[in-house]
Amino acid sequence: MKTLKHLLFLCFLAVLTACSEDALVPQSEVIPATGNSSVDYISMTAPDIEIDDATTRSKLIDDGTELKFVWQENDAIGVVPMNGRPLSFPIHAENAQKNTAVFDGGDWALKTDTKYAAFFPIGAKNQDTDIRHIAIDYTGQTQANWMKYDFLATGAVQPKDGAVKFTMKRLSAILKINVEFGSDNINTVRYATLVAPEPLFGVKGTLDLSGSEPVYTPEGRTKFINTDIGVEKSFSSSSEKIVFTFYFMIPPTNLSGKQLRLILNSDSGTAKEATFNGQNYEAGKAYSIMTVGWDARIRNANLIKAAGLDDGDAWTYREQILQVKKIDVSDLNDPTVCDEIGFFRNLEDLRCAGNKITDLDLSNNPKLTSLSCSNNQLTSLDVSNNPKLTYLSCIKNQLTSLDVSNCPALGSLYCYTNQLTSLDVSNCPALVNLLCNSNQLTSLDVSNCPALANFSCSSNQLTSLDVSNCTALAALQCYSNQLTSLDVSNCPALTYLDCHSNQLTSLDVSNNTALTDLYCYYNNLTSLDVSKCPALTDLYCYYNNLTSLDVSKCPLITWPNLGCGAQLDASGNYQYINVSGNDAMMEYYFEEGTIYAPTNYNYYVTYEGVNYP
């Protein structure tokens, strides 16, 4: 295969100010192409960005009027073909601290006969993907790394004349928020949270680079974005004013007419708040915002009482709040009772069920391990900043999505009776109890939940269900779905199985010797072998296509815990029920000298080798 010695990839940013492109984009040396089919050289250049209203990347140095752009060593750029995976190009030491970077890799297998796109940065979340599904995630920001969320990308382009020119576009907006306090008003700060009045920030999503322009599609929306200063900083001043500056990188969001809150917390419990009016924050622009902060106060009397705070001066956010580990404000019929729950940074257990709550902001409760918010009016629930959660109950709300990917310690998840169309528990290996019934799920993957013991996914729209990796499964409810098959052979601990009202044509329980309860009525079963289930006490299998049933190996079944009569068809097919060895069953059949037979249904009962009647 022919190799190309010199081919230039010149990458620059579309400028959104009145300045000319030539004035802002430093030019690198142009290396002529030889016309062959692979790539040896890539050059990428980026301009600075004006603070007030303009366009930025790798590191941005604020000199008060501009954000100076420089590459950092080991930053990586992704180049991705139309049909393939991204290739990563790291920034080397000789290009660090410059706004132009030249790569010399040689024989990278980039060809001139296909289209390519580029994006920056490339990391663990977006390197193993394709051109249509580049992962974008704005969570995890700190004041030390916010520049890394300045995502750059270009649509796919075709090489021409032995070279390709990437016109990079910024996907993010920069907010530089200056908060002014009186010198006696604040002394420490560690965390900052930008809060919108409703879920508006699309902080996670995918980027499609297959077209001529990058297209970002959020997976969901949240009402807040967090940042961590890294360490608690103390401030003291003899002047009358102190100004804190925070940077947030956000996806482009139209917040015109919305009032935004900036909540500041410290490790010692001091909380402050500031507000400002939002606007339409556009991609590739930076916005400088000045606002004034004040003491944040707890105003909800129900919350004060539940937290056990003093009646007198408990309205003020005080250090005693840091001692509060558990709050129970259930069934108070107060939709605002949790509006100030973020003050309790050390809270571990929150119970707020039955309050008609429509929004629940838990971004400032990172130590939360148990949450019960059932029977409210939540349409969204963000637990991305609650990685220690082990228990979550959010039943009977109006949730359409639920992201528990950042809750690896979750052991119990109760989310039934919502409107969920998808549920990803792949990052919840500790899950023991999962009740997600009465939703709108069409698929559910529990293959990474080996500890799952109590599982209910009934009353959904599932067409398949794989529990082969759930070897600890003891109870399974999957009734009222659209299942055509069910394999429970790898679940030897199973004692309870309810799979009624599906479309099952076969059911093998020969490896479920501990099974005590089996409900498989309203299916299409033609046979059912329970001879390997000696512990069985309850069996309901009516409304199938069975013509015989042998329960002679199930001595613990007693009437009326055997339901099989209504499965007979109108043509008069006889039901053979073998109850040999089960004296209790036979005594019932011969009660008062008659053979039990429900109206319009006929039985042959076999007992000790004799058929009755």
Q: What is the pLDDT of residues 514-538, one digit of tens each?
A: 999 999 999 999 999 999 999 999 8
Which phi-psi region, left, alpha or beta, contains residue 438 (left: φ > 0; alpha: ψ -120 to 50)?
A: left
User: pLDDT tens-digit profile of 58-86?
Assistant: 344 454 555 666 677 777 788 888 887 78
Q: What is the mean pLDDT of the chain?
A: 77
What is the identity of the amino acid at 365?
N
- In single-letter form, the type of residue at position 199 comes to P
> Residue 72 has what pLDDT?
74
Confidence band (pLDDT; 50, 70, 90) for 207?
very high
Is residue 605 a contact partner of residue 552, using CB atoms and an 8 Å limit?
A: no
Strand 66-70 to 59-62 pairing: antiparallel
Confidence at 507, pLDDT banded by 50, 70, 90: very high
- What share of the chain in percent tops pLDDT 90? 38
pLDDT at 87: 75
Domain boundaries, the chain: 9-171, 174-295, 508-613
- What does the block give as tokens for 45? 């250049």
Q: Which residue has the higher pLDDT, 293 or 260?
A: 260
Distance CA 568, CA 525 (A): 12
User: d(Cα 169, Cα 151) in Å, to the nearest integer?
Assistant: 8
Confidence label for 569 from pLDDT (cuts 50, 70 and 90): very low
Higher pLDDT: 186 or 220? It is 220
pLDDT beyond 50 at 218 = yes
Residue 84: what pLDDT?
Answer: 78
**Residue that the structure tokens 């199938």 belong to:** 544
Burial of 188 by CB count in 10 Å (0-12 exposed, 13-18 middle, 19+ buried)? middle
**Domain range 9-171, its CATH number among 1.10.10, 2.60.40, 3.30.460, 3.30.200:** 2.60.40
- pLDDT one-digit tens code per residue, 448-469: 999 999 999 999 999 999 999 9
Two tokens, residue 313? 């001066």
Q: How many CB atoms lie within 10 A of CB 261?
A: 17
Beta bridge partners of 385: none
Burial bucket for residue 395 (CB in 10 Å: 0-12, 13-18, 19+): buried
| Calpha distance 390→65 (Å, rounded) | 47
Least confident of 219-233, 358-372, 442-456: 219-233
The topology (CATH level 3) of 174-295 is Immunoglobulin-like (2.60.40)
> Which single residue is written with the structure tokens 């009569």?
565
Residue of 45, 42, 49 lying closest to 15 (CA atoms): 49
Digit-coded pLDDT (tens) for 302-311: 998 898 876 5
| Residue predicted with more confidence, 3 or 233 | 233
Matching residue, tokens 């706004």: 99
Measured between alpha carbons, how far is 431 from 360 in angstroms, rounded to an integer? 23
Instruction: State yes or no: pLDDT of 281 exceeds 70.
Output: yes
What pLDDT was estimated at residue 184?
A: 57
Decide if pLDDT at 363 tops 70: yes
List the single range of 33-47, 137-151, 236-250, 444-458 with lowest mean pLDDT: 33-47
Which range of 227-236, 320-329, 423-432, 567-576 scores highest in mean pLDDT? It is: 423-432
- pLDDT-derived band at 576 (thresholds 50, 70, 90) equals low
Which pLDDT value is given to residue 241?
74
Percent of the chain's residues with pLDDT above 70: 71
- C-alpha 163 chain-centroid distance: 41
Say how far apart CA 154 and CA 117 lie, in whole Å: 6
Nearest by Cα to 77 from 131, 132, 180, 151: 151
Q: Sign of dihedral through CA atoms 168, 171, 173, 174?
A: negative
